[in-house]
A and B are shown apart, each in its own frame.
Chain A
Amino acid sequence: MGTRRRRRQERARGPRVPSRTARPALVAALGLLALAASSCGAPDRPGRSREVRELLTHEPASFSLVGKSDYHTERLAALVTEGLVQFDPDLTLVPRVAESWEVSDDHRAVTFHLRDGVRWHDGKPVTAADVAFTVAQVRDPAVESRTWLPLFRDVAEVEVLDERTVRARYTVATPDFLEAWRVPLLPRHLAESGAELLTGGFQRKPVGCGPFRFLRHVPGEEIVLEANADYWDGRPRLDRLVLRLLPDQRTALRALVAGDLDLMVASWDLWREALDADRERRLASFVYYRTSVWIIRWNQAPESPLFRDPSVRRAMMLALDRERYVERMLGGLGRVAATTYHPDLPWTDRELAPLPYDPAAAERLLDEAGWRRPRPGAPREREGRPFRFTLLTAASTQQIVDHTAAWLQQSWAEIGVETTIEKLDWSVFFERLHAGRYEAAMSGLSTTPSPDQYELYHSTMREAGVNSMAFADPEVDALLERGRESFDPSERRAIYHRLQRRLLELQPVGCLMHFATVVLHDRRLRGVEASPIDYWRTTRGPRLWSWSEED
């Protein structure tokens, strides 16, 4: 196997010529190609193509860069085009297509100055009119820009002042306004408007101003991008980036081990195998924590009285030995969460410790709340009603979700609480969640680098936002409102630190843990940098990846 594998690895970096059949002829041809490439090829990688093949598990829902936006469309858009600003790895928003900007004294207007020399892939310059056009598209519901539309909700108008100056006016002043301007820019002279953007010619061959040009898409197989030599911030170090569609994670892992793939994110169920695969000489791995957390929503609406009492919610969390679960079941690839605030963000109070594992305290709190065991070891009840509830989970292909639910059930049984697990299809789960038809529901929650979690916790956000648990606390409301009005970073930090303490105290949602993201890649691939908003989303994305010579 050794020689075969080595041969395959050499081939893996060479021109991608299929090899399994007609082997002798192809091997000979490959030798010739390798020779040819080494004599005239790229100076820093003789004989090896500067191409990276990355795993894509789902096809983007749209190739229109902003339409139907989800994780996979954003992934494509971040390569093909760019926004006015972008996060750097420290999660600071830095200028990209915009060179600079000024904010008015009342914080209700921002003027962007566009960088000179930023061009669309067809050579035309990026102008202020393109920015205004992009915002108009994103704000059109027919474009279904789920990610971007909500971020532009407070924008009153976008004015083109001249070729390279654009001003946005806001209906209300918000400190986090800049984040929206990461929106991937569209070329006005090429893209269609409205619903047409999702169906017209542009989405068949999207054009942007980003580091990679869209080359082709073979449905169900691959998306091929090539380096944009005219990129304003320097040509990418790679020649091509191929996003390969492999729907089955295990197939992808085998492809990675075999050298048919260079980079993939391993799903939770593959963690163990993935880290074993890491022992293969040619693979390297790293782990990072995205801005997301696994939570249990406790329904606190009047019609669901079980979890209205904060001390009951607290008892439920005290009954969980999360440290041990992370160690034993997740192989250490998780962090116990204190609140929904990601531990690595500047707004997070790092001194705040998660609730400990303290089953005795949990039992005491439940006793005090009137939920007593009729005899030792028996399930708890109050006024003849047993403490029994249903925990909703979304059916996932990941077994870890089932394991976690089972562990919760068992932990709560130990403090005399009976849990039924109801596993639902994703869309049914969300339907029930938003309608508030549940007692407790477990799911992942993605947050952003902004500290504003108004939609999750504010009492007015029960219908419109994600506060389906009907949580309401005057102090939390006031803190959330003040956080949206404060423009002084240190004052804001104090507000959000206070908010996190209050959240830890009231437990509006039970925060379980942050799950790790495991990235596996060819060890010769350099420059892949993790950040809480993924390894590809920051200013130091795939354009800085490169192949190293040493093995």
Chain B
Amino acid sequence: MLRVLGRRLATGAVTLLLVSALVFGLIHLAPGAPPGAADEGIRSLGAEATAELRALYHLDRPLHERYVLWLSDLSRGDLGRSFHDRRPVADKIAERVGTTLLVNGLSLALMALLAVPLGALAALRPGSWSDRIGGCASFALYALPVFWAAILLQMLFAARLDWLPLAGVRSQGWELLPPAARVADRAAHLVLPVACLSYGGIAYLSRFVRAVLVEGGLAESRRAARARGRSESGVVLFHGFRLAGVPLLTLAGFLLPALVSGSVIVETIFALPGLGRLFVEAAFQRDVPVLMALTLLTGTATLVGTAAADLTYAIVDPRVRRGKA
């Protein structure tokens, strides 16, 4: 068990290193180099000033040297400073990671809470009318583009009905409110973004759960239980978990990076100061240090997620434990 873990960690570290080198190279290979030559504003400073600035940002060094520099800073826990505003990258991420974690965490939780019962319900009577209608609804939801749904939800619940706030993470004057009202205000701001982020996942996951359960013969087990006069719900629960548990855990492992990567569209429409927006802004600004840090973050989350999924596999499924995991 420990050896499995150790090996995962070692390969994970190597993968991260490779990913970071690749991304570093790709950013610099992409046309429109980081600040300097292409930046109209910097050009207006004149040739001498431009050269001085490029030196300040180490842009005068060859690519591999810059990468090594970045790595050595990283090994000291220093993510560097943003090219765009010279603020420490760690600060920029720290002030935004909370929003993204909260919104994405809530939507993941909502997905899990709704998708499993919905999928199980559909799997009990595969091919029935309720299953078909549920299926159609899932596909429709899954196909619904987020940017459109977000705007419609805003128009209905915020602009027309005035039940929920339009955008942002809190109201103005929030700090003057009593604690309970503050929490309520934050919660109200989260409703629409979380709904937008989760409906597609709920639709997808419920179909996934249904497929796993139908294939595993949940309906048959239930029929058998009924024939034997045993508790139906107990069988459904037991078989449901046994069948869908492992695939769902794997999926959860893959969903972990989504927790930190943030959603550009939802964060932009609802004016949420999250990591998705930061990433896009950084990409447009060719803000290499911020891009590298965010890549590292998502990469780590991906590796941790898949490793965690593998380990839970090993715990849940004895074949994996003994075999060649």
Contacts and interface: CB of A to CB of B under 8 A. Distances in A.
A52 to B, nearest CB: 12
Contacts of B164: 20
A21 B154 contact: no
A18 B170 contact: yes
Given A20-B162, A434-B43, 19 more contacts: A18-B173, A18-B174, A18-B188, A19-B171, A141-B50, A144-B53, A199-B86, A219-B95, A221-B168, A245-B273, A246-B167, A247-B277, A251-B166, A251-B270, A251-B271, A258-B162, A258-B166, A426-B284, A434-B38
B81 interface: yes
B52 interface: yes
B154 A431 contact: no
A150 B160 CA distance: 50
Contact of B188 (A17, A21, A53): A21
A62 B86 contact: yes
Shortest Cβ-Cβ A-B pairs, 8 listed: A220-B273, A18-B171, A427-B32, A146-B41, A141-B49, A16-B172, A16-B173, A431-B38
B298 to A, nearest CB: 19
Given A141-B45, A220-B95, A428-B38, A20 B165 contact: yes
Contacts of B269: 248, 250-251
B312 interface: no
Interface in B166-203: 166-174, 176-177, 180-181, 184-185, 187-188
Contacts of A178: none
Given A17-B177, A53-B172, A195-B56, A144 B184 contact: no
B300 interface: no
B39 interface: yes
Given A245-B271, A248-B268, A260 B166 contact: yes
A145 B153 CA distance: 42
Nearest to B182: A18
Given A20-B185, A153-B46, A257-B159, A61 B84 contact: yes
Interface in A1-56: 1, 4-5, 8, 15-22, 25-26, 53
A414 interface: no
Contact of A251 (B43, B167, B174): B167
Interface residues of B, number: 67
B154 A251 contact: yes
Contacts of B95: 219-220
B96 interface: yes
Contact of B166 (A22, A150, A254): A254
Given A221-B168, A246-B271, A254 B159 contact: yes
Contacts of A144: 41-42, 45, 53
B315 interface: no
B44 interface: yes
A475 interface: no
B281 to A, nearest CB: 8
B181 A21 contact: yes
B171 A17 contact: yes
Interface string B266-285: 00111111100100000010
Interface string A63-86: 000001110000000000000000
Contact of B96 (A220, A254, A257): A220
B29 to A, nearest CB: 12
A262 B215 CA distance: 57
B194 to A, nearest CB: 15
Contacts of A434: 37-38, 40, 43
Contacts of A68: 84-86
Nearest to B52: A141
Contacts of B277: 220, 247
Contacts of A53: 172
Contact of A62 (B31, B81, B85): B85
A198 B85 CA distance: 7
B166 A17 contact: no
A427 B34 CA distance: 9
B158 interface: yes
A195 B172 CA distance: 34
A255 interface: yes
A219 B273 contact: yes
A18 B46 contact: no
B166 A255 contact: yes
Contacts of B168: 221, 244, 246
Contacts of B165: 18, 20
B319 interface: no
B44 A149 contact: yes
A257 B47 CA distance: 47
B96 A150 contact: no
A141 B167 CA distance: 39
B87 interface: yes
A430 interface: yes
A198 B31 CA distance: 27
Given A21-B184, A428-B38, A247 B52 contact: no
B151 interface: yes
Given A141-B53, A199-B81, A255-B167, A431 B33 contact: yes
B49 A149 contact: yes
Contacts of B161: 4
Most chain B CB within a 10 A radius of its CB, from A18, A149, A429: A18
16 contacts: A4-B161, A15-B173, A15-B176, A17-B171, A18-B171, A20-B185, A61-B85, A68-B85, A141-B50, A141-B52, A142-B52, A150-B44, A220-B95, A221-B271, A250-B151, A257-B159
Interface string A128-153: 00000000000001101011011001
Interface in B236-269: 268-269
Interface in B50-87: 50, 52-53, 56, 81, 84-87
A235 B269 CA distance: 36
Contacts of A344: none
Nearest to B95: A219
A246 B37 CA distance: 30
Given A142-B52, A220-B96, A199 B87 contact: yes
A18 B158 contact: no
Nearest to B87: A199
Contacts of B44: 146, 149-150
B163 interface: yes
Contacts of A257: 159
Contacts of A248: 167, 268-269, 271
A425 interface: yes
A141 B56 CA distance: 10
A260 B45 CA distance: 40
Given A21-B188, A221-B169, A150 B53 contact: no
A149 B46 CA distance: 9
Contacts of B52: 141-142
A278 interface: no
Given A142-B56, A199-B87, A242 B172 contact: yes
B18 interface: no
A149 B81 CA distance: 23
A26 B271 contact: no
